[in-house]
Amino acid sequence: MNTMRTTFLLSSALAAVVAATSAGAQTSTNNAPAPAEAVAPATTGSDNDIVVTAQKRAQTLIDVPQSISVVSGAALEQQHANGFSDYLKLIPGLQLNQSTPGEGRLVIRGLNTGGVASTVAVYEDETPFGSSSGLANGAILAGDFDTFDVARIEVLRGPQGTFYGASSLGGVLKFVTNAPDTSKLIVRARGGVEAVKGGDVSYYGNAVVNVPLSTTLAFRASGSYRNDGGFIDSIGTGGSRVRDNINGARSYGGRASLLFTPTTDLSVRLSALVQNIETDAPSTVESDPNTLATLYGRPTQSIFVSPFKNIDYRIYNGLIDYDFGFAKLTSSSSYSTQRKKQRTDATFQLSGLIQAIFKSPNELYLAQDTNVEKFTQEVRLASSKTPLFDWVLGGFYTHEKGLIAQEYVPVTPGTLTRITALGNLAQVNLKSTYEEYAGFADATVHLGDMVDVDLGGRYSHNNQYFTQTTAGPLAGGATSVSQPSSEGVFTYSVAPKFKFSKNGAVYARVAKGFRPGGPNALAPGAPASFLTYKSDSVVSYEAGVKFQTQDRTFSIDLAAFHIDWDNIQLIATIPTAGGTFSFNTNGRRARSDGVEFTATMRPTTGFDVSVNGAYTNARLVDDTTAIIGGVVSANSVGGIAGDKLPYTPKYSIGVNGDYRWALGGSANAYFGSSLRFLSKQNAGYNLAFRTANGRQRQIASYEVVDLRAGVDFDRFSVGVYAKNINDTDGKQSSGAVGTYPAGSIDTGVIRPRTIGASVTASF
């Protein structure tokens, strides 16, 4: 076959009123959602200070010497932000490369070269979720959890190696859920309906209940169901099927949590999350291979065999906190699974070849299961705050098992009936294990009332092992390959901070992060020098300022950074006598420089306006030549020194504004608007296109405008909203030429104009 990866993957308004606000969301006595002030959680500090847990202990945002964005649960709910793509406008410097719900790659500060291991770690409370290795597609399977009944989302930029370890060299996205409350009964439900331009109707429902079982015991549970109507049609191009709205999707599940606090010093919380994401065809459209503009005047996708992807999340966590007085002991035990089952249409690419060889008319699909099963244990001891010295000591262990199982299945045209006469064309099973031990420490030295110095370090050691078996002529026949690897890495952070007032601070930070290397899944007969690849690492230099006025009517967070990225991990493709295959390897260097900011203003009571933005100059320093066994190979990846890193616009702006006023009695009305602008950005690297055009393929700049309005009554609220009201044809991914007929390329698109309404009731 012509491009085979070793893991055998076939595809691996307005601006004046806009922005992302920073005040603490308030909670009304009737348990209805509070006014949604976008960038801030419900808070517990004095004067509505924003409290975060970024450094594994509760701190006010202004006291944390690094760049963090926080989005409150109330803001997510009022803006009907259900997944990654809905709240990007609230977080400067966070980008998403996605073509299917539940299957996306997060990018922070441009750290992305298209590898299969993640550069952004995703946490659900204390649980790291998804694969830490490069053998289970962790990069494109970031946990896209439902956001109903979360307290906040914290986004930590830059390497987070000290506290979060492997695969956090770009940063961390952390979902912080609402804990059970022993003080009151809460019952709340929401339902809504949406219409998308050119597509089917969508509908959804959510509910949460909190039950105090005693003064020391409480239970909280929430559930969600969402059915997103499709909007992409298959119109028969190249003999494909004719079918409307092929990319429908469904997401459903819930959270449950039990909190036991027998004394003021001890708390035990047991939590579980279940979420299923089911999609039909991916949200990709046929596009011009040179300009990436959508073809045929409408969103289309040529399908021969109906595709699907089903992704299931399961997380179970036990969290114990005990306060000794001088320090708090925390133990977090987690077990999680991530399972993806998919059917990918491969008819257009391969059925002709199979017919030519085997003389059998056929359609073809790739069946794939991708499973990750992970256990983690973390124990840490955090000191109480003292005038001179605060510290955290911890240990971490994780054990992960991964599986990728793939098979090409030929079927009778127009059906899903297997053509048994063709036998087993290609089958690959890749089983992997990843085990890591780590110890970490962090100390904050207070040099008087105004100067702090934060010092952190972590040593991590991982052992990995994989076994790959193949069968069938297109997979090189029956083979079996096994390979271990082992690696130890030290990461650190140094962050001095000068607090020039109670409400203002400047800081600097130098930090190192890494992403594990590991063994390679290889094609039959691959050279021994390909057997392993190394970790890559970044060293980040950051300086910033945080300031807010005493009355919280104005605040600003501003950070500038420079990042050195070395031994960048790549997917390289090498020709062999039997065709080509791809594998993990290391390139040389990339760099990223930039500035990010969030500014918030509250000029009058009820009116919140803010602007956030990022300038990111992320580029290759060297060509993406693979380093194999210490020898530099040919540039099989396609990036040339100076090329911008993929899916990172140089400029991005988010603006968001809300105005709330009293209607009389208990009723309040609100109106809000948001704008997100992205400048042009590079798609994935392609050497042939780069050579012919002097540049990589580029995704055009675009902007998205959202509107929302509603009325909150005593126990009920009604809202209406419009997402992408300007109906922009924004792109989030780009695939390979020849995926669809007529030489088109597949590109992932955002949803067209969507108009919806919701009703929320509290009891």
- pLDDT tens-place string over residues 146-181: 999 999 999 999 899 889 988 899 999 999 999 999
pLDDT tens digit sequence for 75-112: 899 888 888 888 888 899 899 998 888 889 999 999 99
36-45, 141-150, 382-391: the lowest-pLDDT one: 36-45
111 sits in which H/E element: none
Q: Assess contact for 648 and 685: CB atoms under 8 A.
A: no
Q: Which pLDDT score, from 0 to 100, does residue 37 have?
A: 42
pLDDT tens digit sequence for 310-357: 999 999 999 999 999 999 999 999 999 999 999 999 999 889 989 998
Token reading at 625: 């030549």
Q: Which pLDDT score, from 0 to 100, does residue 526 have?
A: 65
Q: Assess contact for 400 and 376: CB atoms under 8 A.
A: no
| For residue 18, pLDDT beyond 60 | no
172-186, 512-526, 565-579: the lowest-pLDDT one: 565-579
Token reading at 62: 């202004």
Token reading at 134: 């490069």
Q: Which pLDDT score, from 0 to 100, does residue 23 have?
A: 31
What whole-number percentage of the chain has pLDDT above 90?
72
**AA identity, residue 556:** I
Q: Assess contact for 676 and 732: CB atoms under 8 A.
A: no
DSSP single-letter state for residue 110: T
pLDDT tens digit sequence for 115-150: 888 999 999 999 999 999 989 988 889 999 999 999
How far apart, in whole angstroms, are the C-alpha atoms of residue 43 and residue 27? 10
Indicate the pTM of the whole model: 0.90
- E strands, 531-622, are 532-533, 536-548, 554-566, 569-576, 579-586, 589-604, 607-620
CA-based nearest residue to 585, from 541, 544, 527: 527
Q: Which pLDDT score, from 0 to 100, does residue 432 have?
A: 95
Q: What residues contact 261, with CB distance under 8 A and at least 6 apart?
A: 182, 216, 217, 267, 268
Rounded to the nearest 5 percent, the helix, strand and coil shares of the chain are 10, 55, 35
pLDDT tens digit sequence for 219-269: 999 999 999 999 999 999 999 999 999 999 999 999 999 999 999 999 999
Q: Assess contact for 41 and 25: CB atoms under 8 A.
A: yes
Q: Which pLDDT score, from 0 to 100, does residue 523 have?
A: 63
Token reading at 247: 């990319």
CA-based nearest residue to 269, from 336, 325, 330, 338: 330
Q: Assess contact for 331 and 320: CB atoms under 8 A.
A: yes
**Which of the two residues, 548 and 14, has the higher pLDDT score?**
548
| For residue 33, pLDDT beyond 50 | no
How far apart, in whole angstroms, are the C-alpha atoms of residue 171 and residue 152? 17
| For residue 692, pLDDT beyond 70 | yes
What residues does each domain of the chain span? 4-762
- Across the range 728-744, mean pLDDT stands at 90
- Collapse the DSSP code of 348 into the 3-class scheme (helix H, G, I; strand E, B; otherwise coil) and give the result: helix
Q: Band of the pLDDT at 719, cuts 50, 70, 90?
A: very high
| For residue 539, pLDDT beyond 70 | yes
| For residue 479, pLDDT beyond 90 | no
| For residue 41, pLDDT beyond 60 | no
83-92, 179-188, 369-378, 392-401: the lowest-pLDDT one: 83-92
| For residue 284, pLDDT beyond 50 | yes
How far apart, in whole angstroms, are the C-alpha atoms of residue 320 and residue 55? 18
Q: Which pLDDT score, from 0 to 100, does residue 22 have?
A: 31
pLDDT tens digit sequence for 652-671: 999 999 999 999 888 999 99
- E strands, 137-289, are 150-157, 171-177, 186-196, 201-212, 217-228, 234-235, 242-243, 249-260, 266-279, 284-287
Q: Which pLDDT score, from 0 to 100, does residue 48 have?
A: 62
Residue 613: count of CB within 10 angstroms of its CB: 18
Q: Assess contact for 147 and 293: CB atoms under 8 A.
A: no
CA-based nearest residue to 466, from 583, 614, 625: 583
Q: Band of the pLDDT at 632, cuts 50, 70, 90?
A: low
Q: Which pLDDT score, from 0 to 100, does residue 87 have?
A: 87
pLDDT tens digit sequence for 521-537: 766 566 666 788 889 99
| For residue 10, pLDDT beyond 60 | no
How far apart, in whole angstroms, are the C-alpha atoms of residue 316 and residue 732? 32
What whole-number percentage of the chain has pLDDT above 70?
90
Architecture of the domain whose range is 4-762: Beta Barrel (2.40)
Cα dihedral 649, 11, 232, 79 sign: negative
Matching residue, tokens 């370890």: 165
Q: For all residues of the chain together, what is the average pLDDT? A: 88
How far apart, in whole angstroms, are the C-alpha atoms of residue 134 and residue 694? 31
